[in-house]
């Protein structure tokens, strides 16, 4: 049995445990009294808040229970925010405005490793060359207390191909930023105090992730000194399994990809303790057509596969466990009412029961993005409404950070105008509206949310059992199981839209606007900039020609001898470009054979 099979057993056992505790609270008087007492204490510890209209509310809403059995069920099944199994939220007062009393310090300490109260807003940006994206970052974060930068890379960078390679000229700086060298990386985050706790950086890249993170570290050292690693905050996606299953941006075969990843995780846990070296991602799985259940099941099972792999490498689950983060899509299907809640529960139980993870390793830290696939070109301003609804669902699921899509995304890299609307949508929801800022649990706990949650949980377990049958995650990947399921779901979704079974307003229903095209200005990278990127790369490679071959040879040696490849990359990037490094690594470990 693989660890995934053990997770299934652990969840089943936990369900029995909930029933047993409920029964015990009803039949064993002493235990029942303990439960009632705990409930009274929990309620007594809840502070209050005053709304702008003068209404006093508790900072946490709890169900109105007075029977020990139901209380026991609630505490075991959902738990309080920030407590096992973390169904309602990862942290106790996640979205709340700080309490205006001296208890603020206490509350923040209870937030675990969240020492700064941050807005969940984290907007994805990337266009043109490094300096263009840098300017966009400054624009987007100008009003934020915390600077949370999220970076999209262009196609050549995602595939580890240099800007000078044949046939990629048109792709330079399109759909993301072009990064070829450590010098580009310095330009990308110029002007941001990366060594300060209120700045964090996210990089959405998987195939060449270790090379890019090595560049980021090297660039930060140039600016902030050799010890800056310990201060750097952020996340790099580095999810190679979902690349195989859905997104197709993998460079090396699975085995060496996992090894390079483990090297990076090992290093960053030691030297960059505030960094999240992987973001286990369902977003691209969902965007490729997966159902919400498939998204959750494949993402969680990939997560457990990584934990298993890192553990077998000798890494400590309580060291790397708290440094894992998750990334999910949020669309309009009803499952999204409870999807992230179920994910947090399954993760917590699996990490505790199967892998022996402590409290911090049990928490599923979640970044959510609203569904890009749900946005359409026809009557495109409706996309504002779609995104707003998805954002609401994501916050009801207590996501820890969120990206809301721009309405013009079906056409182009978001324009500044629509990127602003997208950011403001979050501020309207979390700051302007009273839904989330006064009280935790304002919306969770409805009968519908529970019913959907239970159905989703069972469906996820059913997927786990199927994957287990195929020899676990890696075995199922080799058999193209997840891929084929995702593709079949994607095809079904398209058919449903074309047949009109699935209403899409403006596309197959109420199409009174016809094929309306936006007035948005297309964001394209001009030829001169593409040329500049090529020239810069050429110049870098020329300046380092004396060193690069020696560095690449040393890198090859480390790969062959089984050393830590990431550690070596932090030196390699000083003299070698992304394209040079990728090419060399492919020679040593081979190329990923595409699955179709």
Partner 1 sequence: MLPIRILTAVPICDGHDSAINTINLEFIRHGVEVIYLGFHRSAKDIVRAAIQEDVVAIGLSTYNGGHIEFFGEVIDLLEQRCPAPPIKLFGGGGGTITQEDAQIMYGHGVDRIFFAGTPLDEMTKYLRSAYGAIAQSPYDSEFAGSDQFLSRQLTLADDGSGLSPQASETAWAGDKPVRGTRVIGLTGPGGAGKTTLIDELVLRFLRSHAEDQRVAILSHDPSIVGSGALLGDRATMIYSQHDRVFMRSVGTRGMAGGLSLSTDRCLKILAESNLFEFILLETVGTGQEAIPFGIDKLVVDLSVLVMPPDYGSRLQLQKIAMIDVADVIVVNKADLQGARTAVAEIESRIRTNRKGQRLLHTQANRHRDSGVDQLFELLFTDPETNTNTGTGTNTGTPQ
| Interface ranges with partner 1 (CB under 8 A) | 154-156, 158-159, 161, 166-172, 174-176, 247-249, 253, 255, 287-289, 376-378, 380, 410-413, 487, 490-491, 494, 498, 507, 515, 517, 522, 524, 589-591, 593-596
Smallest gap from Cβ 279 to partner 1, in A, equals 18
Structure letter (DSSP) for residue 91 = S
Smallest gap from Cβ 378 to partner 1, in A, equals 5
Handedness of CA 304, 307, 309, 312 (dihedral sign): negative
Strand (E) or helix (H) holding 427: helix 416-427
Residues composing the chain: 596
Smallest gap from Cβ 100 to partner 1, in A, equals 47
Smallest gap from Cβ 31 to partner 1, in A, equals 47
| Shorter beta-carbon distance to partner 1: residue 82 or 156 | 156
Task: Report whether 181 contacts 212 (CB < 8 A).
Answer: no
| Shorter beta-carbon distance to partner 1: residue 288 or 439 | 288
| Residue 407 to residues 381, 382, 417, Cα–Cα distance (Å) | 6, 8, 10
Smallest gap from Cβ 134 to partner 1, in A, equals 20
| Residue 153 to residues 128, 464, 534, Cα–Cα distance (Å) | 9, 32, 16
| Residue 445 to residues 26, 74, 289, 394, 526, Cα–Cα distance (Å) | 22, 10, 29, 15, 51
| Shorter beta-carbon distance to partner 1: residue 498 or 510 | 498
| Shorter beta-carbon distance to partner 1: residue 318 or 412 | 412
Alpha helix (H) residue ranges in 225-253: 240-242
Smallest gap from Cβ 552 to partner 1, in A, equals 18
Task: Report whether 375 contacts 405 (CB < 8 A).
Answer: yes
Task: Report whether 286 contacts 331 (CB < 8 A).
Answer: yes
State the Cα angle at 486 between 485 and 492, rounded to 5°: 90
Residue 42, number of CB atoms within 10 A of its CB: 15
| Shorter beta-carbon distance to partner 1: residue 119 or 154 | 154
Tokens 């020899």 found at:
471
| Shorter beta-carbon distance to partner 1: residue 65 or 507 | 507
Smallest gap from Cβ 480 to partner 1, in A, equals 10
| Shorter beta-carbon distance to partner 1: residue 180 or 457 | 180
Task: Report whether 276 contacts 235 (CB < 8 A).
Answer: yes
| Shorter beta-carbon distance to partner 1: residue 535 or 547 | 535
Smallest gap from Cβ 213 to partner 1, in A, equals 20
Task: Report whether 149 contacts 567 (CB < 8 A).
Answer: no
Pairing between β-strand 199-204 and β-strand 147-152 as defined by DSSP bridges: parallel
Smallest gap from Cβ 534 to partner 1, in A, equals 13
Tokens 């553990």 found at:
311
| Shorter beta-carbon distance to partner 1: residue 62 or 378 | 378
Q: Which residues contact 118 (CB under 8 A, 6 or more apart)?
A: 145, 146, 148, 198, 401
């Amino acid at each position: 049995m693989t660890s995934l099979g053990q997770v299934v057993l652990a969840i089943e056992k936990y369900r029995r445990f909930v029933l047993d505790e409920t029964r015990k609270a009803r039949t064993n008087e002493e235990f029942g009294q303990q439960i009632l007492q705990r409930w009274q204490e929990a309620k007594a510890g809840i502070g209050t808040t005053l709304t702008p209209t003068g209404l006093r509310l508790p900072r946490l809403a709890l169900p109105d229970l007075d029977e020990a059995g139901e209380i026991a069920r609630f505490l075991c099944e959902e738990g309080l925010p920030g407590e096992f199994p973390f169904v309602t939220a990862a942290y106790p007062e996640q979205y709340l405005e700080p309490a205006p009393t001296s208890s603020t310090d206490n509350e923040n300490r209870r937030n675990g490793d969240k020492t700064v109260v941050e807005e969940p807003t984290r907007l994805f940006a990337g266009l043109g060359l490094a300096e263009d994206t840098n300017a966009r970052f400054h624009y987007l974060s100008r009003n934020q207390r915390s600077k949370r930068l999220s970076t999209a890379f262009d196609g050549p960078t995602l595939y580890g191909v240099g800007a000078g390679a044949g046939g990629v000229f048109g792709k330079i700086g399109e759909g993301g930023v072009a990064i070829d060298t450590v010098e580009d990386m310095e330009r990308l985050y110029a002007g941001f105090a990366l060594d300060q706790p209120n700045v964090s950086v996210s990089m959405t890249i998987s195939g060449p992730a270790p090379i890019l993170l090595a560049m980021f570290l090297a660039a930060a050292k140039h600016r902030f000194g050799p010890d800056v690693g310990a201060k750097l905050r952020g996340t790099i996606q580095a999810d190679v399994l979902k690349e195989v299953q859905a997104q197709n941006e993998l460079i090396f075969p699975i085995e060496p990809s996992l090894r390079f990843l483990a090297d990076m995780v090992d290093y960053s846990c030691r030297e960059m303790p505030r960094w999240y070296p992987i973001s286990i991602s369902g977003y691209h799985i969902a965007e490729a057509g997966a159902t919400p259940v498939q998204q959750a099941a494949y993402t969680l099972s990939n997560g457990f596969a990584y934990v298993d792999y890192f553990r077998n490498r000798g890494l400590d689950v309580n060291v790397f466990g708290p440094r894992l983060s998750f990334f999910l899509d949020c669309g309009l299907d009803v499952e999204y009412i409870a999807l992230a809640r179920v994910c947090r529960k399954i993760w917590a139980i699996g990490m505790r029961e199967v892998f022996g993870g402590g409290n911090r390793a049990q928490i599923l830290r979640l970044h959510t993005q609203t569904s890009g696939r749900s946005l359409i070109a026809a009557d495109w301003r409706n996309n504002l409404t779609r995104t707003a609804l998805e954002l609401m669902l994501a916050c009801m699921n207590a996501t820890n950070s969120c990206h809301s899509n721009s309405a013009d995304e079906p056409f182009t890299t978001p324009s500044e105008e629509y990127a602003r609307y997208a950011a403001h949508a979050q501020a309207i929801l979390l700051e302007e509206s009273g839904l989330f800022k006064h009280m935790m649990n304002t919306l969770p706990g409805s009968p519908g949310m529970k019913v959907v949650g239970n159905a989703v949980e069972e469906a996820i377990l059913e997927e786990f059992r199927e994957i287990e049958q195929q020899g676990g995650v890696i075995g199922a990947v080799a058999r193209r199981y997840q891929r084929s399921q995702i593709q079949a779901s994607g095809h079904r979704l398209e058919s449903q839209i074309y047949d009109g079974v699935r209403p899409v307003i403006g596309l197959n229903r109420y199409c009174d606007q016809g094929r309306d095209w936006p007035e948005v200005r297309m964001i394209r990278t001009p030829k001169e900039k593409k040329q500049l990127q090529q020239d810069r790369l050429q110049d870098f490679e020329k300046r380092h020609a004396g060193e690069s071959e020696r560095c690449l040879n040393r890198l090859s040696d480390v790969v062959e001898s089984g050393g830590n490849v990431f550690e070596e990359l932090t030196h390699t990037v000083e003299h070698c470009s992304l394209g040079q490094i990728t090419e060399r690594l492919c020679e040593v470990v081979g190329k990923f054979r595409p699955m179709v």
